[in-house]
Copies of this chain bind each other. A is one copy, B any other.
Amino acid sequence: MKRDAGSKAPNPRKKRIIEIAERLFAQRGFNGVSLRDITSEAGVDVALVKYYFDSKQGLFDALLKRRADVLNAERAEALKMVLQNSDPAPVEDIINAFTQPILTRIVSDDPSWRAYFGLLAQVNNNPEWGGKTMSRYFDPLVRQFIDALRNALPGADEADIYWCYHFLSGALTLTFADTRRIDALSGGVCHSSDFEAIHQRLVPFVSAGFQNICQNKGK
């Protein structure tokens, strides 16, 4: 049998490597983590990385793609539900379909999703290969949301829609990064990891922004 092709239960060592790598990359970035950091913590040999993923980069790509597929499916489903309800849908409902699946995962019991989103925050803001990487894994799905927003905002300028999405993306990924800066800045009023409090505000914040930019067509 080929190495767990299509298998439901991949080799436990392979899985261990991915999961440890995910956490360490999220904490310290691609270049801040060595294969030895990963494999020693996983209790396996370095050579297994070559065997399963061919290289450090291969491991990184595999781990990025793994959850992207899951997340994209959930977001596509959420959008579909919203549009079934009414099309064009309210802007706020579309934004919510984009962010709610993330919130659900991030507050779940599984801490590895949190690590994954923290990693995405760094990728999204990486000037060297971040744009290309985010595009590869997420743009097909994002296009579905852009289409829905275009319908929800008739007469909107194309560039306006894309820039507003850009602002949403920045606000959203800084949230994942969970840097605890806000804890210090606010003197304890806010907590970086209080994702429910953030989500509750992010959706109306961004929706108001979209409507202000894309609906005032007398500029």
Contact = CB atoms under 8 A, between A and B. Distances in A.
Interface in A149-203: 158-160, 162-175, 177-186, 189-190, 192, 197-198, 201-202
Q: Is the interface of A mostly helix, strand, loop or mixed?
A: helix
Interface in A98-127: 118, 121-122, 124-127
A135 interface: yes
A134 interface: yes
Given A208-B212, A212-B208, A181 B127 contact: no
A177 B169 CA distance: 12
Interface stretch (A22-30, A66-74, A76-84): A22-30
Indicate the size class of the contact surface on chain A: 35 or more
A218 to B, nearest CB: 13
A20 interface: no
Contacts of A201: 160, 163-164, 167, 213
Closest 7 CB pairs of A and B: A170-B174, A131-B179, A131-B181, A208-B212, A31-B31, A205-B209, A167-B171
Interface of A: 26-32, 118, 121-122, 124-128, 130-132, 134-135, 139, 142-143, 146, 158-160, 162-175, 177-186, 189-190, 192, 197-198, 201-202, 204-213
27 contacts: A28-B128, A29-B29, A29-B126, A31-B32, A122-B122, A125-B179, A126-B177, A127-B177, A127-B179, A130-B177, A131-B184, A132-B181, A139-B181, A139-B184, A162-B186, A162-B189, A163-B197, A166-B171, A167-B206, A168-B171, A170-B175, A204-B213, A205-B213, A206-B209, A207-B212, A208-B211, A209-B209
